[in-house]
Structure 1
Amino acid sequence: MTSPAHVIRTQLPNPPPPIEVLLKTVHAAVEDLKAKDVVEIDVRGKSSVTDFLVIASGTSTRHVKSIADQVIKFAKNLDVMPLGVEGEREAEWVLVDLGDVVVHVMLPRVREFYALERLWTVGDQRPDEPVTEDDRG
């Protein structure tokens, strides 16, 4: 006596959107909630984990969390599910991993302390460019 086989219907996921579309969507999300000092850093060739970092500041922990939530909401509209979200509880620094783009939303004091922009742009300056006060920290 055999039972009939159960058929499980599967569907291949939609292909991810082009990176330009994902970046544009991330920028729209952070701008929608008035994030401060938004910076995009191309880390292709420097990181095997992601292609772009988007770093933004919020004015309070509530603002930081709201901006990160908006990034997630806008990404889901593209059928992009975050690979991970870290730091939501404290909301001083929330990381949203969208694969090709990783978004960091931080309080200004946390952003200044960790200085991700400097960390990921070291060596990008041409040797013939003068060093400014901003570069020295």
Structure 2
Amino acid sequence: MVSDLYHRVPALAGELPALRHELAAWSGSAGLSPQAAQVIVLASYEAMANVVDHAYRNVRGALELRAVCEPDGGSGAAVNITVTDFGRWRPLPADPGVRGRGLLLMRRLATRTDIDATERGTTVTLWWSADSLKTLSI
């Protein structure tokens, strides 16, 4: 089983490419197909970009990324990704215009997407079952 991936970085756009590459490498070392890795990286990148774009207003903040590969009831390994910020959740606008599709994308790509928004920050959890990882594609 592959080791967990964990990074805590400043919530800056310039940090995201390195995190994306780390997550892609981790996915490969976990034995995931290139297609599954692409889906996981895309959904996770959306969550990370949301932190950079929306979590902090005119203040500096942090972004945490954690990737875990865990047993899934004997059918293989499931993947659990969490992206956490320590800012404030901003409600979705009534008309997001050409933007605002990140949450929809995450929900479509992951087996399950949970969002826990509190006064201390927001955690987005993306989870893929072992069975779904075998058939993922973009």
Q: Same fold (TM over 0.5)?
A: no
- Normalising by structure 2, report the TM-score: 0.38
| Structure number with higher strand proportion | 2
Q: Which protein is bigger by CA-based radius of gyration?
A: 1
Work out which structure has the larger RCO, using CA pairs closer than 8 Å and 6 or more positions apart in sequence: 2
